[in-house]
Amino acid sequence: MKLSELANTLELELHGDPSVRVDKIQPISRATKNDLSFIVSARYKKDLIQSSAAAVIVPPSLAEFASGNYLISTNPYASYAKASWLLSPETLPAPGIAESAFIDASAKVDPSTSIGAQASIGANAFIDADVVIGENCVVGANARIGRGSRLFANVTVYHDCILGAQCRVQSGAVIGAEGFGYAFDNVSGDGWQAIHQTGRVVVGNKVHIGANTTIDRGAIDDTVISDGVILDNQIQIAHNVQIGENTAIAGCVGIAGSTKIGANCQIGGACNIVGHLTIVDGVILNATSYVSQSINESGRYGSGMPLQSNTEWKRSFVVLSKLTDLLKRVRALERSKQS
Amino acid sequence: MKLSELANTLELELHGDPSVRVDKIQPISRATKNDLSFIVSARYKKDLIQSSAAAVIVPPSLAEFASGNYLISTNPYASYAKASWLLSPETLPAPGIAESAFIDASAKVDPSTSIGAQASIGANAFIDADVVIGENCVVGANARIGRGSRLFANVTVYHDCILGAQCRVQSGAVIGAEGFGYAFDNVSGDGWQAIHQTGRVVVGNKVHIGANTTIDRGAIDDTVISDGVILDNQIQIAHNVQIGENTAIAGCVGIAGSTKIGANCQIGGACNIVGHLTIVDGVILNATSYVSQSINESGRYGSGMPLQSNTEWKRSFVVLSKLTDLLKRVRALERSKQS
Amino acid sequence: MKLSELANTLELELHGDPSVRVDKIQPISRATKNDLSFIVSARYKKDLIQSSAAAVIVPPSLAEFASGNYLISTNPYASYAKASWLLSPETLPAPGIAESAFIDASAKVDPSTSIGAQASIGANAFIDADVVIGENCVVGANARIGRGSRLFANVTVYHDCILGAQCRVQSGAVIGAEGFGYAFDNVSGDGWQAIHQTGRVVVGNKVHIGANTTIDRGAIDDTVISDGVILDNQIQIAHNVQIGENTAIAGCVGIAGSTKIGANCQIGGACNIVGHLTIVDGVILNATSYVSQSINESGRYGSGMPLQSNTEWKRSFVVLSKLTDLLKRVRALERSKQS
């Protein structure tokens, strides 16, 4: 791809030779003559000065340090993201339905879609234009997959669930399993009685869902994932959770039932959030945060524990087991000082 | 459904018009004229008084506040659970084997079962009456699925594993994968030597297993999940674990090898329990508890950390890194006071 | 199997009757006349003395306490591991491609492989000799599965990813899903822009991967799992992570992007490791450790919290919320003592 073409598509100001060709993207420390690179901050200024990349995407503040060809971007990281698809376009399967796929006679499948081997599309399901359904995916009855969405292999979408347009779902994700809603029947001795989960999962547009992530269907109302949400792998989202627009959630997070998370939040890896809480817009959680109460103010929060050597950790473990005792001793000292 | 019919089936005392029809269940705050609702405590008394529901399931203590039709239940939540299936009956596929399913010639499949598209049933497997096997499920050789159980799409049951009757397994669950048992061969330099996991997973009756939950087969003995156990999504149960009757486990819990968990326990989300422990009956664990020793008394336990603003959390992080130092300083103060 | 044959194959010194037959392995406390057993330490000396096992694998230091037949091993646990496969050989499906499997015309599949029902092998994929691919597995375009590896049912290997020889992958594992790499486009309002993940997952030889474990493909470079690594279930390994030889990782661990973990590490269950860190060789992490900084020295580390009764935990929770306040009070006491 010629640099001028790249600059035009990304709408970036080009300095240098517009006819130079860029083949692939490499980190600034390694980029050589056919590579595009990028820097986001002054931290890499030295690399920029020494770079032999074909071209570098730079923020306006660092343009003066670019020796070769460069493109000016107010958000070089976002420009890099867009360039990554231009220089390495996605390989998409040709439209058409694999011979071994099962399509229920009542399903509506747009002819522009691609349905992979051994996939299964249920009764009255609707698969919109330009959708790609991977091998061995199962789309349940009455489910809807919006225009241009891609499901990689082995994704399960339960009956009645809805995915918007331009979604991207990685393998092993399960959308619409029955929420964990039970009543214990102490009278009849019948044990746990499941509550029929009659809600759906409704996923907006441009939502990305990671591998082996699970999103349960609602009990009565729907579980709702808003437009632009990005979910990493192995996230568990319980029934009736609502997640606001453009919220990003890293891997291994668990969110219990009926919790509402606002827009533009960033939830770090392995956080756990209990049920029936409200988290406002713009909350950032450090990795491994445990959230047991609603969060009413935007901002950054955390609760993770420091790592220690095993010897020191064992001692800390003992102190942590007797924290209230420690507090009492401090109080006693304070009282004796006052008296 | 007529209210009288519902009352009869649920064996509840009906007050009001037996001929009124209820179509669906709604929360008490929203229920209108064709809706059934329920309340479990006095917290919703005001909603009950103002309700325009067709009928409300109420506990005896709140019956006096019901203005319209009502059903008296000593456990309204369990009655709601049962009603949820009566008003929205489960849609089950018709009995029969999908053309694209693979059934080994030696497998025994009851004619009343439904086997979905692309499912695979191994040699000598036994599928009992009224079982529903979803699309793309794999049931291994010699496995047994008990009467009336339902496996949703994409469930894997390994060879030799046994599921009882009336079980319900959500998509992506894996039952019977090889346990994580290895010996490090420091002599030959061959590295980790896997121990052949020759035990099974034996699941009792009325067990519910969530999406992407994994239960490993035993090393020599079996991994055992007793009758009435309910497991949420993304739970990891290692080899040789035993779980007692009616224990409920929330999402993202990890249980390491050979641990025995009693009956009627409630394990909160994201708890982690190390191996070779014993937890007695009736233990309740708060979400994110870390259990590193056996629990010998029933009761409620916890170990989760409080969430703090990032600024305060960073300070706490430093104090937590020096807890034993803090203890020493308190001791020094105590000594100096005494002297 | 005759004891002499077992001793020869395992290269162990046999004491007693070489013609005795052993059928299966049992723990020392239960082993009876046709059973092989083993002990690893003096802790089980009493069981050894009383054992009626056909034969026992013992360390040299305990040989004198063996009353019946015994085999001397400098690593009895590793010898047991190897014996477990000899006495219960793995049941492997016959070579051949299931009729219902889909094999792309351009894929190269060695005739000695076994490809299960409904499996799908993509364009230009290479399946080496003696590989077993389970039912409903999906192997993407250009992927390579090395000699003698086994994928159980429902495993997904994305395009271009490479598995070495003698690997073993449990059901539901996903290798090569797109890493969680995004740039937020604050300029155009387009929200999160995915970065095209053009790297691969490259897995070495003798790597074991547990059920529902996910390993993401790299962004530009590859994600690398070295020879001899063993991974338990439900582990999340993010893009560009590198894991050194023979490192063992227990269930539910999360490792964020670009972190490098050394060789011969042992990561306990449910640990979480943030991104862009380096952990040197030989690090051992207790279960539930949270690693937020690089670890530059081998050794054992931990950060888990002690479990307490709910009453005591609630009090601790309050103290933990005010730890810096507690520190200040101790400082104040120290100052008042000095003055």
- Same-domain pairing of A263 and A116: yes
* Residue C300: closest C-alpha in chain A: A310
Mean pLDDT (whole number) for B96-121 = 98
pLDDT for C188: 78
Residue B306: inside a domain: no
Partner-chain residue, chosen from C75, C230, C330, that has the shortest CB–CB distance to B192: C230
Catalytic residue among C15, C159, C196, C239: C239
Token pair belonging to B5: 């019919």
Query: What is the SS3 assignment for A250-276?
Result: CCCCEECCCCEECCCCEECCCCEECCC
CATH number at residue C43: 3.40.1390.10
Q: Is this prediction's pTM over 0.90?
A: yes
Q: Are strands A174-177 and A230-231 parallel, antiparallel or unpaired?
A: unpaired
Q: At residue B107, does pLDDT exceed 80? A: yes
Mean pLDDT (whole number) for C171-187 = 95
- What is the residue type of C148? G
Q: At residue A262, does pLDDT exceed 80? A: yes
Q: At residue B190, does pLDDT exceed 90? A: no
CB-CB contact of A7 with A14 (8 Å):
yes
For an interface test with B, the pick among C115, C167, C229, C252 (most B C-beta atoms closer than 10 Å) comes out as: C252
pLDDT for B260: 98
A189 pLDDT tier (thresholds 50, 70, 90): confident
Q: Is B50 helix (H, G, I), strand (E, B) or coil?
A: helix
Chain A positions in Cβ-Cβ contact with residue C315 (cut-off 8 Å): 323-324
CB-CB contact of B121 with B105 (8 Å):
no
- Same-domain pairing of A114 and A201: yes
Measured between its terminal Cα atoms, the distance across chain C in Å is 82
Chain B positions in Cβ-Cβ contact with residue A303 (cut-off 8 Å): 305-308, 313
Residue B36: inside a domain: yes
A190 pLDDT tier (thresholds 50, 70, 90): confident
CATH number at residue C242: 2.160.10.10
Q: What is the pLDDT of residues A131-186, one digit of tens each?
A: 999 999 999 999 999 999 999 999 999 999 999 999 999 999 999 999 999 999 98
- Same-domain pairing of C42 and C101: no
Measure A240 CA to nearest chain C CA, in Å.
24
Q: At residue C169, does pLDDT exceed 90? A: yes
* DSSP code at position C140: -
Query: Cα B329 vs. chain centroid, distance in angstroms?
Result: 46
- Same-domain pairing of A118 and A155: yes
Chain B positions in Cβ-Cβ contact with residue C248 (cut-off 8 Å): 182, 192
- In angstroms, the Cα distances linking B31 to A259, A276, B48, B50, C298 are 21, 20, 10, 10, 62
Give me the domain span that covers residue A208.
96-301
Token pair belonging to B99: 């053309």
Query: Would you list the DSSP string of B149-205?
Result: -EE-TT-EE-TT-EE-TT-EE-TT-EEEEPP--EEEETTTS-EEEEPP----EEE-S
Tabulate helix, strand, coil % of chain A (nearest 5): 20, 30, 55
Residue with tokens 């959308």: A175
Query: H or E element: which one contains C259?
Result: none
- Same-domain pairing of C137 and C250: yes
For an interface test with B, the pick among A290, A294, A330 (most B C-beta atoms closer than 10 Å) comes out as: A290
A213 pLDDT tier (thresholds 50, 70, 90): very high
- In angstroms, the Cα distances linking A208 to A139, A199, B25 are 17, 21, 32
CB-CB contact of A69 with A21 (8 Å):
no
Residue C306: inside a domain: no
A67 pLDDT tier (thresholds 50, 70, 90): confident
Contact B196 C85 (CB under 8 A): yes
- Same-domain pairing of C281 and C326: no
- What is the residue type of B226? S
Chain C positions in Cβ-Cβ contact with residue A90 (cut-off 8 Å): 196
- In angstroms, the Cα distances linking A286 to A249, A303, B253, B334, C219 are 11, 8, 20, 37, 23
Q: At residue C129, does pLDDT exceed 90? A: yes
Question: Which ranges of chain A would DSSP assign to H, the alpha helix?
Answer: 3-10, 45-50, 76-87, 310-321, 323-338
- In angstroms, the Cα distances linking C287 to B249, C231, C251 are 19, 14, 10
Q: Is A221 helix (H, G, I), strand (E, B) or coil?
A: coil
Q: Is C261 helix (H, G, I), strand (E, B) or coil?
A: strand
Measure A195 CA to nearest chain B CA, in Å.
4
Residue B78: inside a domain: yes
- Same-domain pairing of A80 and A163: no
Residue with tokens 């998370």: A261
Number of domains in chain C: 3
Residue C181: inside a domain: yes
Q: Are strands A308-309 and C299-302 parallel, antiparallel or unpaired?
A: antiparallel
pLDDT for B337: 81
Token pair belonging to A21: 């060709």
- Same-domain pairing of B81 and B197: no
Contact B326 A303 (CB under 8 A): no
Residue C194: inside a domain: yes
Q: What is the pLDDT of residues B39-65, one digit of tens each?
A: 999 999 999 999 999 999 999 999 999
| HSE (side-chain half, CA atoms, 13 Å) at A85 | 13
Give all strands of the β-sheet with C35-38 in edge-to-edge order: C13-15, C70-72, C55-58, C35-38, C24-25
pLDDT for C190: 86
Could you give the percent of chain B with pLDDT greater than 90?
96
- Same-domain pairing of A323 and A282: no
Q: What is the pLDDT of residues C270-328, one digit of tens each?
A: 999 999 999 999 999 999 999 999 999 999 999 999 999 999 999 999 999 999 999 99
CB-CB contact of A117 with C101 (8 Å):
no
- Domain end call among B41, B62, B87: B87
Q: Residue count of chain B, please give it.
A: 339
Token pair belonging to C235: 């582990």
Could you give the percent of chain C with pLDDT greater than 70?
100
Calpha distance B85→A11 (Å, rounded) = 56
Q: At residue B28, does pLDDT exceed 90? A: yes
Helix C323-338 × helix B310-321 angle, to 10°: 60
Residue C233: inside a domain: yes
Chain B positions in Cβ-Cβ contact with residue A212 (cut-off 8 Å): 172, 212, 234
Q: What is the pLDDT of residues C42-86, one digit of tens each?
A: 999 999 999 999 999 999 999 999 989 999 999 999 999 999 999
- Mean pLDDT over each residue of chain C, to the nearest integer: 96
B159 is catalytic: no
Partner-chain residue, chosen from C192, C198, C315, that has the shortest CB–CB distance to A88: C198
Task: For chains B and C, count residue pairs whose Cβ atoms are closer than 8 Å.
Answer: 221
Mean pLDDT (whole number) for A56-66 = 96
Q: At residue B187, does pLDDT exceed 80? A: no
pLDDT for C61: 96
- Domain end call among C55, C87, C119: C87
Residue with tokens 């809706």: B35
Token pair belonging to B264: 């009627």
Contact A287 C272 (CB under 8 A): yes
Calpha distance B209→B120 (Å, rounded) = 20
- Same-domain pairing of A12 and A38: yes
- Same-domain pairing of A119 and A188: yes
Mean pLDDT (whole number) for A219-225 = 96
Contact C180 A230 (CB under 8 A): yes
Query: H or E element: which one contains C97?
Result: strand C96-97
Q: At residue B328, does pLDDT exceed 80? A: yes
| Other C-beta atoms lying within 10 Å of the C-beta of residue C66 | 22
Mean pLDDT (whole number) for B276-297 = 98
Question: Which ranges of chain B would DSSP assign to H, the alpha helix?
Answer: 3-10, 45-50, 76-87, 310-321, 323-338
pLDDT for C28: 93
Rounded to 5°, angle at Cα C140 from A231 and B177 = 70
Calpha distance B209→B137 (Å, rounded) = 14
- Domain end call among C87, C118, C138: C87
- Same-domain pairing of C152 and C239: yes
pLDDT for A72: 97
Catalytic residue among A196, A208, A239, A276: A239
Measure A289 CA to nearest chain C CA, in Å.
11
Q: What is the pLDDT of residues C14-30, one digit of tens each?
A: 999 999 999 999 999 99
Q: At residue A339, does pLDDT exceed 80? A: no
Could you give the percent of chain B with pLDDT greater than 70?
100
Residue B219: inside a domain: yes
Token pair belonging to A17: 């030779």
Chain C: partners with 3+ C-beta pairs within 8 Å: A, B
Chain B positions in Cβ-Cβ contact with residue A187 (cut-off 8 Å): 74-75, 78
- Mean pLDDT over each residue of chain A, to the nearest integer: 96
Calpha distance C133→B7 (Å, rounded) = 53
Minimum mean pLDDT range among B167-176, B280-289, C183-192, C326-335: C183-192
Measure B252 CA to nearest chain C CA, in Å.
8
Q: What is the pLDDT of residues B147-161, one digit of tens each?
A: 999 999 999 999 999
